[in-house]
Chains A and B, each alone.
Chain A
Amino acid sequence: MIPGAPVRDRHVVGVGLPRVLWVPALVGLALIALPVVGLVVRADLARFPELVTGGAALSALGLSLRTAAVSTLLCLLFGGPLAAVLARSGAPGLRLIRPIVLLPLVLPPVVGGLALLYTVGRTGFGGRVLELWFGITVPFTTAAVVLAQTFVSMPFLVVSLEGALRTAGERYESVAATLGASPATVFRRVTLPLVLPGVGSGLVLAFARALGEFGATIAFAGSLQGTTQTLPLLVYQVREVDVDGAVALSLVLVVVAVLVIAVARPRAAEGLG
Chain B
Amino acid sequence: MSEGRGRLVAELTLRRPSFTLDVALEIPAGQVVAVLGPNGAGKSTLLDTLAGLLRPDAGRIELDGRLLTDTRTRVHVPAHRRRVGLLAQQALLFPHLTVRDNVAFGPRCAGASRAEAARLAGDWLADVDAADLAARRPTQLSGGQAQRVALARALAGEPELLLLDEPLSALDVDVAPAMRALLRRVLGGGGPGVGAGHGEAPRTALLVTHHLLDAVVLADRVLVLVEGRVVEDGPAREVLARPRSPFGARIAGLNLVSGTACEGGLRTDDGTLVSGRPGHGTNGGPAVAVFPPSAVSVFRDRPDGSPRNVFPVLLVALEPHAEVVRMRAGVPAGGPDWLDGLAADVTPAAVADLGAEPGVPLWFAVKANEVGIHPATR
Contact = CB atoms under 8 A, between A and B. Distances in A.
B96 A194 contact: yes
B78 interface: yes
A178 B96 contact: no
A174 B88 CA distance: 11
A180 B79 CA distance: 7
Given A2-B139, A181-B80, A182-B80, A176 B105 contact: yes
Given A174-B53, A174-B79, A185-B109, A179 B95 contact: no
Contacts of A175: 86, 88, 92
Interface residues of B, number: 31
Interface string B258-297: 0000000000000000000000000000000000000000
B85 A177 contact: no
Interface in B200-255: none
B295 to A, nearest CB: 39
A181 B92 contact: no
Interface in A172-199: 172, 174-183, 185-186, 189-190, 193-194, 196
B92 A172 contact: yes
A4 interface: yes
Interface residues of A, number: 22
Contacts of A179: 80, 85, 105-106, 109, 153-154, 156-157
Contacts of A2: 95, 138-139
Q: Which of A178, A181, A186, A196 has the most CB of B within 10 A?
A: A178
A190 B80 contact: no
B84 interface: yes
B32 interface: no
A8 interface: no
B110 interface: yes
Nearest to B103: A179
Contact of A190 (B83, B90, B94, B106): B94
A179 B88 CA distance: 13
Interface string A149-188: 0000000000000000000000110111111111101100
Q: Which of A4, A181, A185 has the most CB of B within 10 A?
A: A181
Contact of B85 (A178, A181, A186): A178
Given A2-B139, A185-B109, A189-B105, A177 B95 contact: no
B51 interface: yes
Q: Nearest 3 CB-CB pairs, A to B? A: A177-B79, A180-B109, A193-B96
18 contacts: A2-B138, A3-B95, A171-B90, A172-B94, A174-B51, A175-B86, A178-B51, A178-B53, A178-B79, A178-B84, A178-B85, A178-B163, A179-B157, A180-B106, A181-B80, A190-B94, A193-B96, A194-B95
